[in-house]
Amino acid sequence: MSYLRLEALSRRFSAVAGVFDLSLSVERGRTLALLGPSGSGKTTTLRLLGGFESLDGGRILVDGEDVAPLRPERRRFGMVFQHYALFPHLDVGENVAFGLASLGVRGVEAERRIAESLALVDLAGFERRMVGALSGGQQQRVALARALAPEPRILLLDEPLSNLDPALRERTRRELRALIRRIGITTVIVTHEQEDAFDLGDVVAVLRQGRLEQVGTPEELYQAPATSFVASFIGRASWLRGVRAGDRILVEGTEWRFGAGAGGGAPGEVRIMIRPEALRFAPVDPSGLSGTVTDRRFAGATAFFLIHTAGGQVVEISAPPSAAAVGDRVSLFPVGDPADTGAVMHCFPAESL
């Protein structure tokens, strides 16, 4: 297991595209998920790590050694590409052996590594199978075995679940998480899917236009977003206009109180990020935020309701499916004690959005 540190990585394609002064670290045996929308720089970062793009600046340290000057094959990084890059005319064993040949590993030693790598991914005995006869999840594991066969220090995964259907994706993600933890290899994974990042990453780095917005555990990103972008990008959220005065927020004349850290700051106009679970329904009450239910989406044990407020704003609320019907007039109140609202309601200056 190796310790990975990125120091001020830069790769500029234009003034707005690339990676800019990115610094991150991954502890030994842990998984870092790079999460962001298209064009955020996450795949470029992975290619910089693998040596497939040249750095304009910065260092890539593995256990204190700067590997940036080294060619890809000398970095001892394993790479699983988005579309696996398997060779359909070769069988499973030959695909796994492909990365060993360039290292001069042949014969009995190559056979040993192939067998061990396939056993690691629960494909023992699959050496003579053709990859075209395998399921999507099995093909992914072959690609993973090929990356593991050279015994890499770091494992890099580029959107490894993107071409799987939803049912297979969930099962494969669960298997991949268990596999990475069983092997204990330091891993960097790129994804644009929040669910994949939260499920696979011990820590998640949110990127935007090549810059780091926030890094933390999934819980930290959800409960304490550092910027309005992270608040919008992570989880479901609605935004309401309000006016802040100390720990009090006025929303269309209704007063709400926030827990420590959620409502502090200079007085003035704010935008409030609200998770669907942050508000509750109540009968029409002048002390609550009044509105009308305009849409209801059933989601099993819960449902998501769209509320149009009297002031023309829109907020999404989660509640039991029988809580209200389309057309009902309701009043909304924060859920629970004000000290608890910091995890689901956050204020940002109006100009930050």
Q: Model confidence at 144, in pLDDT bands (50, 70, 90)? A: confident
Cβ–Cβ < 8 Å for 32, 201:
yes
| Per-residue confidence band for 352, with pLDDT thresholds at 50, 70 and 90 | low
pLDDT of 259 above 60: no
Q: Is the confidence at residue 315, as pLDDT, over 50?
A: yes
Q: pLDDT confidence of 265, banded at 50, 70, 90? A: low
Structure tokens at 191: 């994804």
First and final C-alpha spacing in the chain: 41
Distance between CA atoms of residues 130 and 211, nearest Å? 42
The candidate with the shortest Cα–Cα distance to 342, out of 270, 257, 217, 265, is 257
- Tell me which of 112 and 15 has the higher pLDDT: 112
Which residues make Cβ contacts (< 8 Å) with residue 254, sequence separation at least 6? 287, 288, 289
* Lowest mean per-residue pLDDT among 29-33, 149-153, 172-176, 341-345: 341-345
- Please, is 222 exposed, middle or buried when counting C-beta atoms within 10 Å of its C-beta (0-12, 13-18, 19+)? buried
Q: Which domains does the chain have, with CATH numbers?
A: 4-229 (3.40.50.300), 236-352 (2.40.50.140)
